[in-house]
Amino acid sequence: MRDRERAVTVNSGTFRTGQGQGALPRATRRELDKDNPCAACSVREMTVCAPLDEEEQRRLRAISSTLKLEPGRMVFEEGAPAEYVYNITSGAVSLSKSLADGRRQITGFLYPGDFLGLTHNVAYAYTAETLTHVCICRFPRKKFEEMLLALPQMEHRLLTIASNELATAQDQMLLLGRKTASERLASFLIGLIDRQAARGGAIDVIDLPMGRGEIADYLGLTIETVSRTFTKLKKAGAIALPDANSVHIIGADRLRDLASGG
Amino acid sequence: MRDRERAVTVNSGTFRTGQGQGALPRATRRELDKDNPCAACSVREMTVCAPLDEEEQRRLRAISSTLKLEPGRMVFEEGAPAEYVYNITSGAVSLSKSLADGRRQITGFLYPGDFLGLTHNVAYAYTAETLTHVCICRFPRKKFEEMLLALPQMEHRLLTIASNELATAQDQMLLLGRKTASERLASFLIGLIDRQAARGGAIDVIDLPMGRGEIADYLGLTIETVSRTFTKLKKAGAIALPDANSVHIIGADRLRDLASGG
DNA sequence: CGAGTCGTTGACGCGTTTCAAGTTCGGTGG
DNA sequence: CCACCGAACTTGAAACGCGTCAACGACTCG
């Protein structure tokens, strides 16, 4: 039942295969960070809720290495030994969990400044894949944890981060368990806008680094339903779609009402 | 659309009204902890991942007070000022978020030893309600946070807890976004069994402290679908239902296969 | 024994999924 | 410069799983 065989097919290109190859299906699309030379890929971008002090920066830099990844690459896979902790410098990453038959749930999209791979288990609990060109800082987990022992205020910040992520996860559970397709998409767009606004970005234009498939897997819908719902919101005058990866917010209030179940 | 008016009706008894009254709908059902006198309701039950040392116990006891609550009472409500942190000594509690029209999503069930109300925001992000008679330790949040500053290893444990909760939340997102009704119920039962087993309890009998409505709101289904799915699993020989609040696990392997999408 | 709550079951409806074409668009090569 | 190609997106029609509505039984309590 459901989209089993089909999902396997859809995902086989990037999900099931290893890390070094793949068709890079979205490699040529317009990138948010295409012009970012990523030369200064450094821990300076890592804020951990508040700017790092000199001591913290120094210690982090001492154990970090920098990676550049193309779109559609796996950073790490669910179940693999959790040997590194990562922090995104530029680009966007998806986190996902999958069932054996290929059904996939994206649990979050990460942007610059976000951590991934923070876990207290031996293995990663989810798969992380790049959506765009990504520049990322990598820390050996063991050294990272040793550092935390010496910097308790750093651990306090991580707790704040985890606490916020937990709140976001609970919002997403409400979305997945109880919202209609229109409400889900509206919530998604409002979430992106609010995130952008909090970082000082635009409040009425969104550039989507992910495709319809990723949005569908994030919202617990199918590609077709996401597409239909975009059209519906467009016809209702709440948004405009100059192209598939850009959204203009026209009726922000209407979207917010929708997102909260109005 | 959906179950709006209806859910409002269902919830109006306990959800919308305040803390001191209500019909206590499940007050007379068999309770897991009915015979627990709760006289020794103390921080001794609080393990925070590892047993507390003497210093920690002493400090916690100094700022804690004890509450006893009947079934169906609200501990705190989504949006209320987050003035206290709680730890359950006995009984079971549900955490939930709701939309304006009454649609509700339960994000978790808590048992003895679990914390609730841990947040880094000014307001609680969810509502906490008792499912059974509950004995609970309460700590003024401000004092609790002061204590954390002095006990960094305590904060480390809270980070471990938050990290585990986050992993559980991601599993639940996969459930809500991608699993069928049978898979959801199987996952729920397996989760309860594993939790019991980890605490040294039975591995084939579950006593459900929650009703069908709570299970439905946890699994993103309706009461009717939960009931039908219980019947389906019973007819398939995977479980037996001596009464509505007891489940005997007969085909644990079959349930596990179902839960993971087989 | 009547009233209320909770759980179960049946019939039907609907929103989303499934299946199947189309369409658009960027890249490629003639 | 344009035909061609594949990937991604869109759109339509039909199927289906779950929600909705309604009735009924089991149980508790006053």
**Which of B100, B156, B177 faces A220 most closely, judged by CB atoms?**
B177
Question: Is strand D less than 7 A from the beta carbon of A179?
Answer: no
Q: How confident is the model at residue A56 (pLDDT cuts 50, 70, 90)?
A: confident
Domain identity same for B200 and B164: no
CB-CB contact of B179 with B221 (8 Å)? no
Closest-CA distance of chain A to residue B41, Å: 27
Domain identity same for A88 and A167: yes
Instruction: Dig out the tokens for B161 from the structure.
Output: 């807890």
Domain identity same for B53 and B155: yes
Domain identity same for B70 and B102: yes
Domain identity same for A43 and A162: yes
Query: Given A174, A203, A218, which residue is the final one in a domain?
Result: A174
The whole-number pLDDT of residue B20 equals: 36
Domain range enclosing A193: 179-259
Domain identity same for B196 and B126: no
The whole-number pLDDT of residue B47 equals: 66
DSSP state of B123: B
Q: Does residue B137 have a pLDDT over 50?
A: yes
Domain identity same for A195 and A163: no
The whole-chain average pLDDT of chain A stands at 87
B27-31 contacts, C-beta under 8 A, 24 or more apart: B27/B70, B27/B71, B27/B72, B29/B71, B29/B245, B30/B207, B30/B245, B31/B71, B31/B91, B31/B132, B31/B133, B31/B209
Domain identity same for A100 and A54: yes
User: What CATH number corresponds to the domain at position B121?
Assistant: 2.60.120.10
Domain identity same for A150 and A224: no
A48 dihedral zone (left: phi>0; alpha: psi -120 to 50; beta)? left
The verdict on a CB contact (< 8 Å) between B170 and A261 is no
Q: In chain B, what residues touch A260 (CB-CB under 8 Å)?
A: 99-100
Query: Given B129, B154, B174, which residue is the final one in a domain?
Result: B174
Query: Given B138, B154, B174, which residue is the final one in a domain?
Result: B174
Domain identity same for A170 and A190: no
Domain identity same for B244 and B212: yes
pLDDT in tens, A195-221: 999 999 999 999 999 999 999 999 999
Nearest residue (Cα to C1') for C27?
A28
User: What CATH number corresponds to the domain at position A204?
Assistant: 1.10.10.10
Domain identity same for A43 and A127: yes
pLDDT in tens, B206-248: 999 999 999 999 999 999 999 999 999 999 999 999 999 999 9
The count of domains in chain B is 2
